[in-house]
């Protein structure tokens, strides 16, 4: 029989690519979505991939334990992927309570629903490299101490440790993926990579002249979301649950990423980029660089899509959108 997967955050970047991957593997995919009066808007990423009609949407909310219990009881999933979150770091300073409630406590709502209604299900928690924050080691691994620098990172850290706690307390099959930054054409435009590629596309088409950015010196370990959702799936296929850093092992500055995007369309970033201090974070994470050696050794996972190819794909997709 085909496996059944339940995905929270199914309408986001990772949820869409994960749904595509699982459908290709023959899974029946259920996705939890918040009810909205703007019906149909939620599926645009799944529509982009041509799979919206293949996912079963279920009304649910990450703050509603009774509702999640009902969903888990009805679906009886083999695998559960918790990707739902208030995931924009900047917003977490403006809405810290919402971020803590959804990103942090929301994970526990799902874990508790599983403990009560489907303890045999395997659970994946989307942890984040932002938890490393003010880095304690130049290269971050599964044993690097955490130092979160935003309400988002602190909420993710709580969810991460609760995932471990449910594994150790209740013998549930729970895994965390400490995912470093991962992007794609499905990334929201509020994130810096997509903000850049969207602006480059509009500048190339004569619809915009200037791209305003904050800290160009910040460095990140950027990979492609399609590679990273494959790692999520691999974690839940193992004999024992564990936690894994997922990263490319390469760090790139925002300035270098911007240069790649502009060069792809034959333009110079220096002619179009302006610095706006309003875009600086209250507490910056200067550099992140992950070591995915454990994932390579135990999961057989390695990234397949380069940063350059990813940024060019994103620019081309945004040019197609604006054309």
The pLDDT of residue 38 is above 70? no
- Strand spans (E) along the chain: 4-8, 28-33, 56-59, 79-82, 122-128, 173-179, 182-183, 211-213, 219-220, 223-224, 243-246, 252-253, 273-275
From the list 173, 136, 141, 178, the residue with the least C-alpha distance to 156 is 178
Q: Per-residue confidence at 280, pLDDT binned at 50, 70, 90?
A: confident
Domain locations in the chain?
4-182+222-246, 188-220+251-286+306-322
Query: pLDDT (tens digit, 9 = 90+) per residue, 110-119?
Result: 999 999 999 9
How far is it, in rounded angstroms, from Cα 230 to Cα 314? 19
- For the chain, give the mean pLDDT: 95
CB 145 within 8 A of CB 136: yes
Query: pLDDT (tens digit, 9 = 90+) per residue, 186-217?
Result: 999 989 999 999 999 999 999 999 999 999 99
How far is it, in rounded angstroms, from Cα 118 to Cα 112? 10
User: For residue 37, with 0-12 CB atoms within 10 Å meaning exposed, 13-18 middle and 19 or more buried, which class applies?
Assistant: exposed
Q: CATH homologous superfamily for 4-182+222-246?
A: NAD(P)-binding Rossmann-like Domain (3.40.50.720)
CATH for the 188-220+251-286+306-322 domain, from 1.10.10.350, 3.40.50.2300, 3.50.30.30, 3.90.25.10: 3.90.25.10
Q: Per-residue confidence at 36, pLDDT binned at 50, 70, 90?
A: low
Length of the chain: 323
pLDDT number for residue 285:
80
Query: pLDDT (tens digit, 9 = 90+) per residue, 40-55?
Result: 667 889 999 999 999 9
pLDDT number for residue 41:
62
């Amino acid at each position: 029989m085909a496996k059944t997967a339940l995905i929270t955050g199914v309408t986001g970047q990772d949820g869409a690519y994960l749904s595509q991957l699982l459908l290709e593997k023959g899974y029946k995919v259920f996705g939890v979505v918040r009810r909205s009066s703007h019906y149909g808007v939620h599926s645009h990423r799944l529509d982009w991939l041509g799979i919206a009609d293949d996912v079963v949407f279920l009304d649910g909310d990450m703050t509603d334990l009774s509702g999640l219990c009902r969903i888990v009881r009805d679906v009886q999933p083999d695998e559960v992927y918790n990707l739902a979150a208030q995931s924009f770091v900047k917003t977490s300073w403006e809405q810290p309570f919402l971020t803590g409630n959804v990103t942090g406590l929301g994970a526990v709502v799902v874990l508790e629903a599983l403990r009560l209604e489907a303890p045999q299900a395997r659970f994946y928690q989307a942890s984040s490299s932002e938890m490393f924050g003010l880095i304690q080691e130049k290269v971050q691994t599964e044993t690097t101490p955490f130092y979160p620098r935003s309400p988002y990172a602190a909420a993710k850290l709580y969810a991460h440790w609760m995932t471990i706690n449910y594994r150790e307390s209740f013998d549930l099959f729970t895994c965390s993926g400490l995912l470093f930054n991962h992007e794609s054409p499905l990334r929201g435009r509020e994130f810096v990579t997509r903000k850049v590629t969207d602006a480059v596309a509009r500048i190339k088409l004569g619809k915009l002249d200037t791209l305003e950015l904050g800290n160009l010196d910040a460095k990140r370990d950027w990979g492609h979301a399609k590679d990273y959702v494959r790692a999520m799936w691999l974690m839940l296929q193992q004999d024992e649950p564990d936690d894994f850093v997922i990263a490319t092992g390469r760090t790139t500055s925002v300035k270098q990423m911007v240069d790649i995007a502009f060069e792809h369309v034959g333009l110079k970033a220096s002619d179009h980029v302006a610095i706006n201090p309003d875009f600086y974070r209250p507490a910056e994470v200067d550099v992140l660089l992950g070591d995915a050696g454990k994932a390579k050794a135990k999961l057989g996972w390695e990234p397949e899509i380069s940063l350059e190819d990813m940024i060019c794909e994103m620019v081309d997709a945004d040019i197609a959108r604006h054309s």
